[in-house]
Amino acid sequence: SCDASVLLDSTENVVSEKPADRNFGMRNFKYINTIKSAVEAECPGIVSCADIIVLAAREGAVVLGGPRVELKTGRRDSKKSSAAEVDKYIPLHNDSVSNCSNSFCFHGNRCRRRGGALRSAHRWQDALRESGAEAIPESGSHIRSRLRRVFE
């Protein structure tokens, strides 16, 4: 959710995207809220939730040993959220790499590898969700210790 609309709760009239079936892997919104509160205390009204999500994802990748890539900020937060939009634009969690790539290309993205990268991230998330940090092989003990420090 590039506009952070996944953070919005449902109202009487609209079911938000947060509980949508295609967002089943989204959880621990409390961490984003905690990060946003800390940033908001230092820079009130300047940093969007959308930027917080992107920066938190980048830092999570770094903690797991991935590269630290420079990111542009300046995203704007959405004012509305709809489960129907998720069903329209977000691939299913078990879609093939080809289907994910085609979906992202269909919606105007030029990089065919983006869908594959996102699918790989979901597979990693699936493994952690199902088995916890123990899903990481023994040779990845440094990653387990990093994960424990981050989530303590």
152 marked as part of a ligand binding site: no
Q: Are 85 and 103 part of one and the same domain? A: no
Q: Are 126 and 67 part of one and the same domain? A: no
Domain boundary among 89, 115, 138: 89
What is the extent of the structural domain holding 74?
1-89
Q: Are 122 and 53 part of one and the same domain? A: no
5 marked as part of a ligand binding site: yes
Q: Which CATH number do you get for residue 67?
A: 1.10.520.10
17 marked as part of a ligand binding site: yes
91 marked as part of a ligand binding site: yes
80-125: pLDDT as tens digits: 777 777 777 777 778 887 777 777 666 665 654 444 455 455 455 5
- Output the pTM of the full model: 0.49
Q: Confidence class of residue 142 from pLDDT cuts 50, 70 and 90? A: low
Q: What is the Cα Rg of the chain in Å?
A: 16
DSSP state, residue 10: P
Opening angle at CA 23, ends 51 and 113, nearest 5: 65
33-62: pLDDT as tens digits: 788 888 888 888 788 888 888 888 888 888
Q: Extract long-range pairs of 70-76: CB within 8 Å, 24+ residues apart.
A: 73/47, 73/48, 74/48, 75/2, 75/3, 75/4, 75/48, 75/50, 75/51, 76/3, 76/48, 76/50
- The answer, yes or no, to whether residue 146 has pLDDT greater than 70, is no
